[in-house]
Structure 1
Amino acid sequence: MAGWVLSECGLRPLPRIYPKPRTGRDQLPLNPKLRFLRADRRNGSPSCLFSGIDKDRDWPLKVSAPFRVLQVDEEIGGRDRILNGGEEFFDPASPPPFKLSDIKNAIPKHCWVKDPWKSMSYVVRDVAVVFGLAAVAVYFNNWVVWPLYWFAQGTMFWALFVLGHDCGHGSFSNNPKLNSVVGHLLHSSILVPYHGWRISHRTHHQNHGHVENDESWHPLPEKTYRGLDIVTKILRFTLPFPLLAYPIYLWGRSPGKKGSHFDPSSALFVKNEKEAVITSTICWTAMAALLVGLSFLMGPVQLLKLYGVPYLSFVMWLDLVTYLHHHGHEDSLPWYRGKEWSYLRGGLTTLDRDYGWINNIHHDIGTHVIHHLFPQIPHYHLIEATKAANPVLGKYYREPKKSGPLPIHLLQVLLSSMRKDHYVSDTGDIVYYQTDPQLNSNKKSKLAHKFTPPLHSRILNSE
């Protein structure tokens, strides 16, 4: 079937200048500068959409984010460049031409093998480094060493979390008891309720990319977003506050959702999971009591330096990595709801990130797409599995930007996303993040007010 163009006058066929017939599933070549287009639900009149129309999908009614309106000369000239440029338009929201089984079959069989001895060797390595760093910090005990210690130890706490996270997925070993024991020891030591978090994280994986059902850093629907007070909005989208959200999330989840990772009666859990949640909460409480005892033994200031500040550093690592694996790509990525969502399509909107020297330290968790699709693959096989799957994934895999020794470049990505990715439409089965300009202006005014001296002070200074 020939391609069609959607205008204010209705559907009309494009000129017959394509080299071969097009179907609704095909993508027309598009000027890469135009990125991809979106329908405008806010005024009810979609702007010039010139991709192929799939009769089985009512795109203008199901894509919520607004199109960019093209100028007449840009539209005409752009269409010529589109047809002659040879580059095809890629719509990341389109159903992929492959199945989950196709990706699975492309991954070598040995990548699925879990070696408990190898997994335990990483635990021994990380625990040894944690105690070694603490010993070095106590030995030197000066303000040149402490900031370096805080960053390094917080990173190692994060590495311990990732190993406990593997226990929760069952990718640590095939022995559930071993996974549970190691997971409790690792996660409790950094104040994470192992089973409570494991279950909610499973929900995240099973519903990744779904607006309402996803669990971690999922979009706020517009109605929920508009219902937040201005202080909550500013805290949620102004650094460093979002990077300190994890402990709050453990106690109260995200806006619009209720429950606690410590409460066995929470909506997060089903009846047969209550005993496991109680066990994890007891382990967490025991660790908290141990920290209180240590504060009496060594003093609260020393405990803060040895454990408290590294814990905050770990929390920042966790929030940073989790957020950036689902946000902040240079091209807007879709979120789904209703019949448009599927496990595969949701997983394909996740992102790999390069963390430089940190890649090996935090067990290649930045290799995230394959991990999200197949969380049972051990972390030490993720890179090889990703390389094997790439020919199948094609453009649905977004190569991460290479990092220097430290992933400083990701801070700019995070800042940019926090300025733009505020909420999604309440309607539509395929939605994109939208920006609240008023929030950005409010943040600027709040900051300006904070750093502007009082009037009488400015008058005295001028005199």
Structure 2
Amino acid sequence: MVKAEKPLSAAINGAVNGQEAAFDPSAPPPFKIAEIRAAIPSHCWIKNPWRSLSYVLRDAMAATALLAAAIHFDSWFFWPFYWAFQGTIFWAIFVLGHDCGHGSFSNNSKLNSLVGHILHSLILVPYNGWRISHRTHHQNHGHVENDESWVPLTEKIYKSLDPVTRTFRFTVPFPIFAFPFYLWSRSPGKQGSHFNPYSKLFSPNERIDVLISTLCWVTMFTLLLYLSFVIGTIPMLKFYGVPYMIFIVWLDVVTYLHHHGYKQKLPWYRGKEWNYLRGGLTTVDRDYGWINNIHHDIGTHVIHHLFPQIPHYHLVEATKAAKAVLGKYYREPEKSLPIPFHLIKYLVNSVRQDHFVNDYNDIVFYQTDPNLYFLRPKFK
């Protein structure tokens, strides 16, 4: 086993003046995942398809009402309001499709697939392609090489990036528009596309599913092009294009902050140090104020990562029940004002500081390239 990298917390801990050493988030937890599961009330595991469909209806009605209002008012006073709220509803729609992909929407796989394809295709996400790669993310969360979502760059891969790519990747706001590029070509160091049935992301028996989702995506994209010719490019940008970009921002910011930007550096694992529980405990819950309800409590993320089968409408209760077991391994989210502006500082600071991890140790923490934003080479 490769020796673990010394965690950042060790630099500020120590039994100073007889005080207890600081908590080490990379230490193996003193509990098992079965203990967490047992603490969660049994009804939290029950999936109610009618309740899930009611959220679909709620989001569909909100999106339709916003579109009707935009058509009615059609003024530059109203457009910013429409873009912000419609983009947020697009994000909420994505979360419901995400639940379909996990099977937490209902116990009916055909219903999950039908609803998931409709919801994700409407916002230009290839349902099965993304569903499968997201499953890989959950199965390997916190693993340096095998994770799939916002996986850290190793030092070797980081050094291989050209200066322009490196700077753009670690300069806000560019990373918060990354999702469409990720769908097409994944992250640096990984090959494949969410649209290609023969991508390394997928097994041979998944190719038909991926092809179906890609065809749904192409159908939606073709429809958008047709509407652009019918009503004009500028109206389509106002009605759909800008909300779509707001949705992308939501997706990238939320998913990034689920795994980065905590006030204490959190570990990533490889080799024998990784297991499902330790990887899941590196995730972070976030509070989004009144938006929590709109985007279906997706910020309640630790329990979701450990038990993705739990419906979103039970996550808050399940988390409260699990806290007694998790102890210090659960990091209470900072309470948000009505609009979660407090998260901007965590996003910006993390992007500026969390650049790469070393190539060898089994427990690693993000390191910073101090010369990244200067016009001189980092490595000799």
TM-score (norm 1): 0.79
Which one of the candidate residues 27, 30, 37 is aligned to 1:94?
27
The CA deviation string for residues 1-44 of structure 1, in whole angstroms up to 9 with x for no partner, is xxxxxxxxxxxxxxxxxxxxxxxxxxxxxxxxxxxxxxxxxxxx
Q: Which amino acid aligns with 2:302?
A: V
Match of 2:313 in 1: 380
Amino acid in structure 1 at the alignment position of 2:34: S
Alpha-carbon offset, residue 69 of structure 1: 7.0
* Offset, 1:297: 1.4
Paired residues, number? 376
Answering whether residue 2 of structure 2 is matched by residue 63 of structure 1, we say no
What residue number does 2:52 align with? Answer: 119
Q: 1:243 maps to which residue? A: 176
Is the CA contact (8 Å cut-off) linking 1:352 and 1:399 kept in structure 2? Answer: yes
Distance 1:278 1:150, change over 3 A: same
* Per-residue Cα deviation, 1:399-426 (whole angstroms, up to 9, x for no partner): 0000000100111110000111000000
Structure 2 partner of 1:36: none
Aligned to 2:217: 284
Q: Distance in 2 between matches of 1:156 and 1:99?
A: 37
Q: Which runs of 5+ in 2 are unaligned?
A: none
The change in CA–CA distance for 1:206 and 1:251 in structure 2 (over 3 A counts) is same
2:235: which partner in 1?
302
Aligned partner (choices 46, 57, 71) of residue 138 of structure 1: 71
2:244 match:
311
Q: Residue 282 and residue 334 in structure 1: after superposition, are their counterparts in 2 closer, same or farther (change >3 A)?
A: same
CA displacement, residues 204-237 of structure 1 (integer Å, 9 cap, x when unaligned)? 0000000000000010000000100110011101
Greater Rg, structure 1 or structure 2? 1
Aligned match of 1:353:
286
Report the counterpart of residue 157 of structure 2 in structure 1.
224
User: What CA deviation, in whole Å up to 9, does each residue of 1:319-348 have, x standing for no partner?
Assistant: 000000000011000000000000000000
Alignment of 1:168-183 (within 5 A): 168-183=101-116
Q: Which residue of 2 aligns with 1:159?
A: 92
Give 1:307's aligned amino acid: Y
Pairing 1:409–2:342 present: yes
Q: Which residue, 273, 280, 301 being the options, matches 1:368?
A: 301
Instruction: Sort the Cα spacing of 1:80 and 1:122 in 2 relative to 1 into closer, same or farther, 3 A.
Output: closer
- Cα distance between partner residues in 1 of 2:9 and 2:329: 22
Compared with structure 1, are the counterparts of its residues 64 and 251 closer, same or farther at alpha carbon in structure 2 (3 Å cutoff)? Answer: farther
Corresponding residue of 2:371:
438
User: Does the 8 Å contact 1:154/1:313 carry over to 2?
Assistant: yes
| Conserved? CA contact 2:101–2:131, under 8 Å | yes
Aligned to 1:400: 333
More contact order relative to length (CA 8 Å, sep ≥ 6): 2
Aligned AA for 1:424?
V
Using a 3 Å threshold, how does the CA distance of structure 1 residues 67 and 353 change in structure 2: closer, same or farther?
closer
Counterparts in 2 of 1:203-222, with a 5 A limit? 203-222=136-155
> In the TM superposition, what is the alpha-carbon distance from 1:80 to its structure 2 partner?
4.5
Q: 1:79 to 1:111 in 2, by over 3 A?
A: closer
Per-residue Cα deviation, 1:106-125 (whole angstroms, up to 9, x for no partner): 00000000000000000000
Question: Match for residue 338 of structure 1?
Answer: 271
**Alpha-carbon offset, residue 440 of structure 1:** 3.0
Report how far residue 64 of structure 1 moved. 5.8
Q: Could you list the per-position Cα deviations for residues 31-76 of structure 1 after superposition, in whole angstroms to 9, with x for gaps in the alignment?
A: xxxxxxxxxxxxxxxxxxxxxxxxxx87xx2216679879xxxx9x
Deviation of the 1:159 alpha carbon = 0.2
Identity %: 65
Q: Alpha carbons of 1:80 and 1:302: their partners in 2 closer, same or farther (altered >3 Å)?
A: closer
Residue of structure 2 equivalent to 1:257 = 190
Contact 1:64–1:427 (8 Å) recurs in 2: no
- Structure 1: segments with no counterpart, 5+ residues: 1-56, 444-463
Distance between the aligned counterparts of 2:11 and 2:128, measured in 1? 49
The Cα RMSD (Å) is: 1.6
- CA displacement 1:89-148 (0-9 Å, x = unmatched): 311111101000000000000000000000000000000100110111111111111011
Alpha-carbon contact 2:10-2:22 (below 8 Å) kept: no
Q: 1:355 to 1:66 in 2, by over 3 A?
A: closer
Query: 1:220-269 CA distances to partner (integer Å, 9 max, x unpaired)?
Result: 00000010011001110111110010000000000000000000000000
d(CA) in 1 for partners of 2:368, 2:11: 17
Using structure 2 for the length normalisation, give the TM-score.
Answer: 0.96
> Following TM superposition, by how much is the alpha carbon of 1:79 offset from its aligned partner in structure 2, in angstroms?
4.4
CA–CA separation in structure 1 for the residues paired with 2:375 and 2:148: 28
What are the within-5 Å matches in structure 2 for residues 1-40 of structure 1?
none
